[in-house]
Structure 1
Amino acid sequence: GAVIASALPYMMTNWFGISNLAPEGEIPDSVKFSFYIGAAVFFLAVGWTVFSTKEYSPEELKKFSEAEEKRSSIIESDGRKQVSAAKFFKDGSIWLLLGVVITIVITFSLEEIDYGLYVLFVGGAAFGILQIIAGLLTKNSNTENGFVVVLNDLYNMPKTMKQLAVVQFFSWFALFAMWIYTTPSVTQHVYGATDPTTALYNKGADWVGVLMAVYNGFAAIMAFVLVWLAKRTSRKTVHLISLIAGGLGLASFYLIKDPNLLIISELGIGLAWASILAMPYAILAGSLPAEKMGVYMGIFNFFIVIPQITAASILGFFVRNVVSGEAIYAMVLGGASMILAGFMVLFVDDVDEEIK
């Protein structure tokens, strides 16, 4: 699905003769039809799920609820560490103070307002407020409140999960840099086009769709290979190699001027993508208490969203103000971030491997 979706704009133009040009401020027909097809497929998939998936009966739901109550009583009696109100107040105050101070600084130091930076630092201040609220609830002995429970679990993440969070942050920061800046990087750096209304720019943009299809297709193939490699080496080794390959693939965009050679770069990115979707979760699962698996898997996804917000907040500022609008350097930065993520894998404790 990802392969076809990525290649659709290219297919629309080169196979079906649909124009990839549009006046400034408008969307080319090739992109419009690609989205129409995507929307139709998405609608059909949702419909298939609705009509083919059996719902649980009230009796089954009651049994699940009873089992959950038993599980909760076990959790309550297992000596779960509760974060103190004072800890929530202290950490929340630090986050709030830093968020407010940095927001004020950027407001008065930047000539032009950068709303992306505001999102990042106001978000930090908001997280501080949430911790203070959790502190107030904890002080009032309202520790079973779902909001407090989630923040408490966030503080009490297993060691392996904390280590993987760092790996995930730099991995996904790199991915979001790629998804945002591949098109402007290729069109500007490889094709030498910056005007979205020109045929050359849209030729480069269509080729980016092909490149995206290549890394998704290669990832689908390598997903099976990585399982085999992990059994013969280790999950950490596989993830380390894959992330470094992906980082080199991203950074290599700076060195390559032939659009066809970018396919080689995408192979490294595809290898990293296959590993990112599997290895961190496989490593994480072995370190989590069974009764908290769902909660911690949910919290773990924070470390996909947080780098997304960070990338969206600072990369625009970086490209506009630091590298004079040359988007290719965002790809280089993404490559460096993914390579750093690879080396951070060395510091992750894989509990299952230690047991072996």
Structure 2
Amino acid sequence: MDMHTKALKPRLSFWQLWNMSFGFFGIQFGFALQNANTSRIFSTLGANPDDLALFWLAAPVTGLLVQPIIGYMSDNTWHPKWGRRRPFFFVGALLAMIAMFLMPNSSVLWMAVAVLWLMDAAINVSMEPFRAFVGDKLDVSQQTAGYAMQTFFIGCGAVIASLLPTIFTSMGVSNVPLDGSIPETVRYSFYAGALVFMAAVSWTVFTADELPPADMAAFDSERKRARNLGVAVAEILSGFARMPKTMVQLAFVQFFTWIALFAMWIYTGSAIADSVYGTRDAQSAAFQDAGNWVGIMFAVYSGVSALAAFILPVFARATSRKTVHATCLAIGGISLASIVFISSREMLMLPMVGVGIAWASILTMPYAILAGALPARRMGYFMGLFNFFVVIPQIVSGLLLGFVTREFFQGHTVQTLALGGACMLLAAVLTLAVTDQAPKATA
């Protein structure tokens, strides 16, 4: 018997699923504000568009370093009151809140880049154990529903967070960068997001419980062994050789999926400012207006993902999870690539619907498929290792997309979005080769 989670798991009610997932509402405030506004902040502080991808490397590199370590540590943590995953939820949220207050007060570019490192690392500390939390607490028959609930809160949090600069603008807050500083709309948005992040994660920390190890003596022995630094490093690195077949297959899907997403997050702001608003001047009012509009676009795809989160499992039961995921990725890829043909800002909402459908599946199906293929006592570690195939493509993108945009697209970043769409289409094709080990009835 697995000493961690093979004991009988009770079926959780809707509100128990709600409480254990609510923290993602706050976590996504952090990610949504980061995704929609980081390039805007960098540009306002003087970054060249060709260098944006390089400055964004902070995000994937911190994920590469933090997630496997945090996953390994949380697998080998237990406290009678705080449990296994919740200490990491709380500490990460506290650090993220501090970083979110610092980010919009960056006065020079290097400071903003440094704070991005801190902010992304802190968000990853809080977020990574949430994926394993579902595997810990839920029977396989509820795991897809658990990840769908997380996706719902991710969508809801992202909608509100993405709209915050526009909401503050409508309230009369200045959206203009004065003397090269970050607009007050962005500053207030990060302040609000920091408070929501902390409050939402705290809700999960104090309302959800965790299953204790079935064999505490064996767990304590394993935990003492894990405290040996050499053993820990060896186990973390050896995981690549022990990845289940399904995880290897999903790794290729994730690679091309996240190249597309990283391209979208980095370049949508400059692409829309250039192709729709007709400006590349980050100090202009038009550029900042484009930034607000991108926030609305991102809110649309996030809102669609929140709604789709509960529809996709129905289709998965009727077909299969990999069929649903491949279909959603194809829709998202075509939608993202279509932006290159759109010159009306209102029409930009249509491709965001398709991206939202893809995003709902990206946040649900790979993790539901993977959870059924992983050893339960190493759920946190392998979920962290799986994140390598989220961050490695982002690092590749950070190193190459600026060069590709400059040398092949003459600086027109809207064409980089089309390239991202093509990568997502390739990911859709690769999904068809994935082995989903879970029985159809538990999809």
Does the residue aligned with 1:333 lie in a helix, a strand or coil? helix
Quote the offset at 1:305 in angstroms. Answer: 1.6
Match of 1:35 among 177, 182, 190: 190
Instruction: Letter of the 1:27 partner, please give it.
Output: I
Residue 429 of structure 2 corresponds to residue 343 of structure 1: yes
Q: Which residues in structure 2 correspond to 1:174-323 (within 5 Å)?
A: 174-323=260-409
* C-alpha spacing 1:237/1:63, structure 2 compared with 1 (3 Å): closer
**Match of residue 11, structure 1, among 164, 167, 172:** 167
| 1:204 CA displacement | 1.6
2:237 partner letter: L
Q: For residues 252 and 269 of structure 2, what CA distance do their matches in structure 1 show?
A: 27
Identity %: 47
Task: Report if aligned partners of 1:24, 1:197 keep a CA contact under 8 Å in 2.
Answer: no
| Residues 65/216 of structure 1: CA separation in 2 closer, same or farther (3 Å cut) | same
Pairwise CA RMSD? 2.7
Q: Which residue of 2 aligns with 1:328?
A: 414
Kept in 2, the 8 Å contact 1:71–1:291? The answer is no
Is the partner of 1:320 in helix, strand or coil?
helix
CA contact (8 A) 2:282 2:288 kept: yes
**Secondary structure of the equivalent of 1:325?**
coil
Report the alpha carbon displacement of residue 313 of structure 1 after superposing the two structures with TM: 1.8
CA distance in 2, matches of 1:353, 1:340: 26
Change (3 A) 1:10 1:192: same
Q: Is the contact made by 2:254 and 2:427 (CA closer than 8 Å) also made in structure 1?
A: yes
Distance in structure 1 (CA, Å) of the matches to 2:221 and 2:349: 54
* Separation (CA, whole Å) in 2 of partners of 1:237 and 1:5: 31
Q: Distance in 1 between matches of 2:213 and 2:313?
A: 38
For residues 164-198 of structure 1, what are the alpha-carbon distances to aligned partners after superposition, in whole Å with 9 as ceiling and x for unaligned?
Answer: 00101111111111111110011101121111222
Greater relative contact order structure (CA < 8 Å, 6+ sep)? 2
Equivalent pairs counted in the alignment come to 282
Partner SS state of residue 351, structure 1: coil
Is 1:66 aligned with 2:221? no
5+ unaligned residues in a row in structure 2: which ranges? 1-156
| TM-aligned CA distance change 1:154 to 1:201, over 3 Å | same
SS of the aligned residue for 1:27 comes to: coil
What is the CA–CA distance in structure 1 between the aligned matches of 2:439 and 2:338, rounded to whole Å?
A: 33
Deviates more, 1:344-353 or 1:334-343: 344-353
Structure 1, 320-329 or 258-267: larger mean CA deviation = 320-329
Length-normalised TM-score, structure 2: 0.59
Does the 8 Å CA contact 1:160/1:284 hold for their aligned counterparts? Answer: yes
- Determine which structure has more spread, i.e. the larger CA radius of gyration: 1
Aligned equivalents of 1:237 and 1:49: distance in 2? 32
Taking structure 1 as the reference length, what is the TM-score of the superposition?
Answer: 0.73
Whole-angstrom CA distance in 2 between matches of 1:144 and 1:65: 24
Which runs of no fewer than 5 residues in structure 1 stay unpaired?
A: 73-141
Q: Aligned match of 2:175 in 14, 20, 37?
A: 20
Quote how far apart the aligned CAs of 1:54 are: 8.3
Q: 1:229 Cα shift?
A: 0.5
Q: Retained in 1: the 8 A contact 2:260–2:420?
A: yes
Q: 3-state SS of the aligned residue for 1:347?
A: coil
CA pair 65-311 structure 1, distance change in 2 beyond 3 A: farther
Q: Alpha-carbon deviation of 1:321?
A: 3.0
Alpha-carbon deviation of 1:45? 3.6
1:194-221 CA-partner distances (Å, limit 9, x unpaired)? 1122222222211110000000011000
Question: How many angstroms apart in 2 are the aligned matches of 1:203 and 1:54?
Answer: 41
